[in-house]
Amino acid sequence: NANDVSELGKYGASKILQVSNDKLNKFNGEAYADTIGQAAKNEGAQVIVLTSSANSKFLAPTLAVNLEAGYVANVISLPESTSPFKVKHSVFTNKAFATTEIKTDIKIIGLGKNSYGLKENETSATTEAFSPNLDAHDFDMEIVSVDKATDKVTIADAEIVVSGGRGLKGPENWGLIEDLAKTLGAATACSKPVSDMGWRPHSEHVGQTGKPVASNLYIAIGISGAIQHLAGINASKVKVVINNDPEAPFFKAADYGIVGDAFEIVPKLTEKLKEFKAQNA
């Protein structure tokens, strides 16, 4: 997402292919897959790395077919070996991990969300123009419109998730969660009992039977930590729990824990974060 493509050299890119084609200004899975495939063939690429975005997952199967390549999504670490080429990836909506060998000449991997941090590796990057040979069939399908369901940060895309459980005692107290989430620019989530009781919509339910979370930071407030819930947040990097029960199972899974009354702690935490943001604006 670098505005200046030359900045990619800071992170190890030595050659950047820049495509200028008005037809590609709007995402088109077939055309994008054809473009990437042609570039890969021209460069003799053996491994193609994609992101975990919806667009990448949309075009990846087409790209794999075009190149007769093996494709593994949700890869969470560097290849365990290159001969044979094996990668570790999450499966069953982040509830387990598997190691898969890709045997094709060309390999395609899709990185799991938040699995890798930026690491500078200064390289002198050169930029070259690339013009793919696209035909009419690449544009047989066109996205006419996109309807955005909400302006809120979604759980799937969130770097930070603030989640609440039955410890909040009722839906009327959900302002604690929303205020903290808004301050952090986070998505809001909840435990299964909360959605079952109708306090929050099922779309916010995180856990084994809900949505998986792979955020950089997951803050659980008033959630005891049932095994089904913990399975759904397993891929999150840092887990924080606030609970007044020191024996709550979540504390064993958390990186950081605060034992205390959420109704006292969360407003103070939110206020301190607001002060910090104001001082560093």
- Cβ neighbours of residue 264 under 8 Å, at least 6 residues apart? none
Residue 110 pLDDT: 95
pTM value?
A: 0.69
- The confidence band for 129, taking pLDDT boundaries of 50, 70 and 90, is very high
- Cβ neighbours of residue 202 under 8 Å, at least 6 residues apart? 195, 210
Mean pLDDT of the chain: 90
Q: Is the pLDDT of residue 55 over 80?
A: yes
Residue 248 neighbours by CB distance under 10 Å: 21
